[in-house]
Structure 1
Amino acid sequence: MPKPIRDCAGPRHVAIIMDGNGRWAQGRGRPRLFGHHAGAKRVREIVEACPDVGVRYLTIFAFSTENWKRTQNEVAGLMSLFRRYITKEAKALRAENVRVRFIGDRLRLDDKLVTLMDELELMTADCTGVNLTIALNYGGRDEVARATRRLAQDVAEGRLKPEDVGEETLPKYLDTCVLPDPDLVIRTSGEARISNFLLWQSAYAEYEFVDTLWPDFTDTEFSGLVRAYGRRERRYGGVKA
Structure 2
Amino acid sequence: MDGNGRWAKRRALPRAMGHKAGGDAVRRTVQAAEDLGLECLTLYAFSSENWKREESEISDLMNLMRRFIEANLADMIERKVRLKIIGDFKAFAPDIVEKLEDALARTSGGTRTLAVALNYGAQQEIARAARLAAEAGAIDPESIEKHLYTADLPPLDLLIRTSGEVRLSNFLLWQSAYAEMLFLDVLWPDFGEEHLRAACEEFAKRERRYGGR
CA deviations 1:39-95 (Å, max 9, x no partner) are 011111111111332311000000000111110100111111111111111001111
Deviations 1:193-239 (A, max 9, x none): 00000011110000000010000011111111111110101111111
Partner of 2:19: 36
Which residue pairs with 1:92 in the alignment? Answer: 75
- CA distance in 2 between counterparts of 1:206 and 1:154 reads 32
Alignment correspondent of 2:96: 113
Are 1:221 and 2:195 matched, yes or no? yes
Matches within 5 A, 1:21-60: 21-60=4-43
Tell whether the 8 Å contact from 1:59 to 1:134 is kept in structure 2 after alignment: yes
Go from structure 1 to structure 2 and tell me whether the alpha carbon gap of 1:106 and 1:52 turns closer, same or farther (over 3 Å shift): closer
The one-letter amino acid of 2:28's match is E
Instruction: Tell me the SS of whatever aligns to 1:153.
Output: helix
Question: Gapped runs of 5+ residues in structure 2?
Answer: none
1:191 match: secondary structure: coil
The Cα shift of 1:20 comes to 0.2
Distance (whole Å) between structure 2 residues aligned to residue 183 and residue 201 of structure 1: 9
Asked if structure 2 preserves the Cα contact closer than 8 Å seen for 1:20 and 1:188, the reply is: yes
Which amino acid counterpart does residue 152 of structure 1 have in structure 2?
Answer: A
2:133 to 151, 154, 165: 151
Q: Distance in 1 between matches of 2:41 and 2:82?
A: 10
- For residues 1-241 of structure 1, the aligned pairs below 5 Å read 18-128=1-111, 130-155=112-137, 162=138, 165-239=139-213
| Preserved CA contact (<8 Å) 1:53 1:227 | no
* Cα distance, 1:150 vs structure 2: 1.8
Give, in angstroms, the shift of residue 168 of structure 1: 1.0
User: Normalising by the residue count of structure 1, what TM-score does the alignment of the two structures yield?
Assistant: 0.86
**TM-superposed deviation, 1:167:** 1.6
Q: Residue 159 of structure 1 corresponds to which residue in structure 2?
A: none
Counterpart-to-counterpart distance in 1, 2:205 and 2:156: 17
Query: In structure 2, what is the Cα distance between the partners aligned to 1:150 and 1:83?
Result: 31
Determine helix, strand or coil for the equivalent of 2:117. strand
Secondary structure of the 1:226 match is helix
Offset, 1:152:
2.4
Q: Structure 1 stretches of 5 or more lacking a match?
A: 1-17, 156-161
Residues 123-149 of structure 1: CA deviation (Å, up to 9, x unaligned): 110111x31000000000111112222
Structure 2: how far apart are the matches of 1:52 and 1:218? 12
Computed over aligned residues only, the root mean square deviation of the Cα atoms, in angstroms, reads: 1.1
Q: Which structure shows the higher helix fraction?
A: 2
